[in-house]
Structure 1
Amino acid sequence: MALMPKRVKFRKIQKGRVKGNATRGNFVAFGEYGIQALEPGRISAQTIEAGRVVASQAVKGGGKLYIRIFPQKSVTSIPAETRMGKGKGEIDYWAAVVKPGTILYEISGLSEEAARAAFARVSHKMPVTCRFVGRRPTI
């Protein structure tokens, strides 16, 4: 089942623009390794779920998977061959807005090679280019 908010203040949201780099959620906080977005974009709830399925198959109970993004923006669309006017379309899907530098998923309890292999499969599903990152050393 795809992710979506339980309730929102407004059903239909304006499109907006994704400007600048991520200032929050831009470092590995929960796991040991993560996958980081390198370009801006919107990731649909279905895509997030597809990445979760692939990553959880790689983990296979040996580690823990963390999803760091949540689809909270509704994306609307009007049916094809519809005349202009008649208002804004109905909600088509829910999407997460991603800025460059945002951590998408994290994994703990796996070796680096296994985590790299898992995130390589996840990055093929994502609509934005991604890279593998490790946890920063703490002082």
Structure 2
Amino acid sequence: MLLRPKKTKYVKVQKGRLSRVVSSFRYLKGGSFGIISQESIYLTPYQIESARKVISRYLKRKSRVFINVFPDFPLTVKPAEMRMGKGKGNIKSWVCRIKKGCVIFEAIGVKTKQIYQAFQAARKKLPMRTFIFKSCYKKN
């Protein structure tokens, strides 16, 4: 099932900018491994879901996987051959704004090699450059 918000305060949102960096470094919140973006991009629910499926197929539901992104930003499009003006277009799809340095997926609970292989396969499903980060801190 694809991700989209059930309810929003405003139906349409202004576009804004994507180029700013979230932070030079992000700590992992709940996992020992994470996929971190190296580019700013819009991520669709289809791309998030395909990467999640690959990770769950590799890890066989033996570990805990955290998805830290959610498509809460509406993309609007006007019909073709429409004149200028007359307001903003209709909502085409919901996307997630990913900025450079954002942690997308995290995992914990199985062997290091298995998580690394799962994240390597999931990186191929994502339309941006990413890197896999291993947390060196031990959780209590």
Q: Which amino acid aligns with 2:117?
A: A
**CA deviation string 1:35-90 (max 9, x = no partner):** 00011111112211111111111111221111011111111112334343333221
Residue 138 of structure 1 and its aligned partner are, at CA, apart by 5.5
Match of 2:37 in 1: 37
Gaps of at least 5 residues in structure 2 are none
CA contact (8 A) 1:44 1:95 kept: yes
Q: What whole-Å deviation, never above 9, does each CA across 1:79-125 have from its counterpart, x for those lacking one? A: 33434333322111111111111100011112222112111111111
Looking at structure 2, the residues matched to 129 and 89 of structure 1 have their Cα atoms a distance apart, in angstroms, of 31
Cα separation, 1, equivalents of 2:110 and 2:130: 19
Q: CA offsets per residue over residues 10-50 of structure 1, 9 Å max, x none?
A: 11111111132214x92211111010001111111221111
* Alignment partner, residue 103 of structure 1: 103
Q: What is the TM-score normalised by the length of structure 2?
A: 0.88
Gaps of 5+ in 1: none
* RMSD across aligned positions (CA): 2.1
CA distance in 2, matches of 1:33, 1:12: 35
Q: Which residue of 2 aligns with 1:91?
A: 91
TM-score for both structures, normalised by structure 1 = 0.89
In the alignment of these two chains, the number of paired residues is 139
The residue that corresponds to 1:125 in the other structure is 125
Q: Partner of 1:46: helix, strand, or coil?
A: helix
Quick check: 31-40 or 56-65, which moved more?
A: 56-65
